[in-house]
Amino acid sequence: MLSVIVAPFISTSNMMTGALLIFEDITRKIQLENQLLQAEKLSSIGLFAAGIAHEVNTPLAGISSYAQILLKEAREDDPNREILRKIEAQSFRASEIINNLLNFARVSESDVKSVKLNSLMNETFSLLEHSFKAANIDVDMELDASLPATIGNGSRLQQVFMNLFVNARDAMPEGGRLSVRTAARNSQLVVEIRDTGEGISPEAIQQIYDPFFTTKPVGKGTGLGLAVSYGIVQEHSGRIAVDSRPGEGTTFTIHLPLKRLN
């Protein structure tokens, strides 16, 4: 994105004799402003989630427990069994949403230690390998063996990779290819996750990190995965970028410092 400033040259006879044009690349400035805006959104969500989590989780736990008790006592031919199963499933789903909201909170320093991204990547993929095969998706992993460790929270970073892998899989319902790369560049660790899926429209790109925004069908996603991932990368002093076009696939690139800056 460019900023253009035009300054005309006016002669003593009030005639324009020329003009000075100043071009400035403000792409990075716009990106930083968007990151600041997103950080403010996530901070507000985090405060909101911390305030309501206990009050909401407690009745949810009661609903789930009572539904399970009634399921155990109900006969196999009881017509209410299916309703009880739905109550149980929906209470689990509601609890999962609340727990995802809580992930906006920052990790404590006691949770921070040396993390090897390649090991995290392989471990995360092993959990989803069967579903990728079932979806007829080829996976190409090119992990830099000399990649140094970083400082962070392994389980939180694994959640980021899990979200991106699942999103990539869901974006390729007819099969495709997932490419995963890791590298060290300019004192940063770079993770690139690319799919050959449906891609994301320019309009949706502006909203993908907003809490509860999702392009998936109803019941297939809460719209919290990328918002949570964005917050986790931010808390690790990193940044996440996306490049996507409809019908051409999507690439997420994560930059993490060798050491946390905050």
pLDDT of residue 117: 93
171-216: pLDDT as tens digits: 999 999 999 999 998 889 999 999 999 898 888 888 887 766 676 6
Q: Which domain CATH number covers 196?
A: 3.30.565.10
> Does 222 lie in the same domain as 156?
yes
pLDDT of residue 226: 84
Choose between 34 and 183: higher pLDDT. Answer: 183
Choose between 176 and 128: higher pLDDT. Answer: 176
The reply to whether 2 falls in a domain is no
Using alpha carbons, list the distances in angstroms from residue 41 to 98, 112, 121, 184, 219.
17, 24, 28, 30, 24
In the predicted model, what is the mean pLDDT of residues 147-174?
Answer: 89
> Does 207 lie in the same domain as 130?
yes
35-52: pLDDT as tens digits: 656 555 555 565 556 556
Residue 181's domain comprises 110-257
The reply to whether 7 falls in a domain is no
Looking at 52, 80, 102, the residue that finishes a domain is 102
pTM score, whole prediction: 0.62
Q: Which domain CATH number covers 71?
A: 1.10.287.130
pLDDT of residue 110: 46
> Does 174 lie in the same domain as 229?
yes
For residue 64, name the pLDDT band (cuts at 50, 70, 90).
confident
pLDDT of residue 54: 60
pLDDT of residue 224: 67
For residue 250, name the pLDDT band (cuts at 50, 70, 90).
very high
Looking at 102, 118, 150, the residue that finishes a domain is 102
Choose between 228 and 192: higher pLDDT. Answer: 192
When divided into structural domains, the chain yields a total of 2
In the predicted model, what is the mean pLDDT of residues 118-131?
Answer: 89
pLDDT of residue 138: 95
Choose between 253 and 154: higher pLDDT. Answer: 253
> Does 94 lie in the same domain as 126?
no
pLDDT of residue 143: 94
Looking at 102, 127, 151, the residue that finishes a domain is 102
> Does 150 lie in the same domain as 222?
yes
User: Average model confidence (pLDDT) for the chain?
Assistant: 81
